[in-house]
Amino acid sequence: MNSRPQLLPIEDFEELADVAPEHVRLEFIGGKLRTRDPLSVEDFEELERRAPETVRLEYLTGELVVKAVPDGKHSCIFMWLFRQSLPQRPDLNLMPRPGIRVEAHRRGRARPDGALVPEDHFKGHGEWSDAVGILMAVEITSHDRDTDQRDRVDKPIGYAEADIPVYLLVDRDNNTVTVFSEPKDGRYQQSPSYPWGATVAIPHPVGITLHTEKLKDYAG
């Protein structure tokens, strides 16, 4: 894991530290962003609002999390999913990187790579929306050292606790697609994984079928 690229260059940390609220003290240790003191969700929202465009922040399990900026293959996978979804569910939109309140009591803040929602779902919403009405959250892993904890551990819990019916994880390390569904008591009851190339049925309330052969073009 230590050979994976660091998420935050020192230049981005310095720029973020310059705009951070006065009482939010940031540290940069071993290429990782930390806070010296416990960070409230309100302080996180203010910090995220001030962050430069090159820094993507989330707030999971009470901690500040840096999310990798997507590379070209990551963006291609998102568009692949968009093209797969739209013809089957023209009543829905796949929205990129919305701000969502997640976890128990909606104390987490996540920006999934995508959220499948009814048309105009986010109309009139502020920067952070409740998860009610989101049919599926989507994450596409990045080749960084934090993706295991963030996308495979924290996100399934956070999205299940927010009662998002389906969490779709496109895993670029394992070349798999994992479909988490049936949230109950803060955990998804189902989480089958499929190799790239398989036909994947996404359950209710999404109800689409993904043909994943194309994902092999984005391996590596």
The CATH number of the domain holding residue 86 is 3.90.1570.10
Amino acid symbol at 39: L
Q: Do 151 and 82 have their domain in common?
A: yes
pLDDT at 51: 96
Residues 53 and 140 in one domain: no
Under a CB-based contact definition with an 8 Å cutoff, are residues 102 and 162 in contact?
yes
Whether pTM > 0.85 for this model: the answer is: yes
What is the pLDDT at residue 4?
40
Find the domain containing 57 and state its range.
10-67
Q: What is the pLDDT of residue 144?
A: 80
Does residue 157 share a domain with residue 118?
Answer: yes
End-to-end CA distance of the chain: 16
Structure tokens at 132: 């009610």
Give the pLDDT score at 69: 85
Q: Give a yes or no: residue 3 inside a domain.
A: no
Pair (161, 213) in one structural domain:
yes
Residues 78 and 31 in one domain: no
Q: Does 189 fall in a domain? A: yes
What's the pLDDT at 7?
Answer: 65
* Per-residue CA distances from 203 to 16, 47, 86, 170, 174 (Å): 41, 37, 16, 16, 22
For residue 149, which phi and psi values (nearest 5 degrees)? -65, -45
Do 78 and 183 lie in one domain? The reply is: yes
202/98 same-domain check = yes
pLDDT attached to residue 3: 35
- Tell me: do 146 and 129 sit in the same domain: yes
Q: Do the Cβ atoms of 121 and 93 come closer than 8 Å?
A: yes
> Which helix (H) or strand (E) covers residue 24, if one does?
none
Domain count, the chain: 2
Mark whether 109 and 83 lie in a shared domain. yes
Last residue of a domain, one of 41, 67, 93: 67
Query: Does 158 map to a domain?
Result: yes
| CB 111 within 8 Å of CB 58 | yes
- Residue 5 within a domain: no
Q: Is residue 18 part of a domain?
A: yes
- Same domain for 63 and 76, yes or no, is no
Residues of the chain with pLDDT under 50: 1-6
Residue 80 tokens read as 């692949």
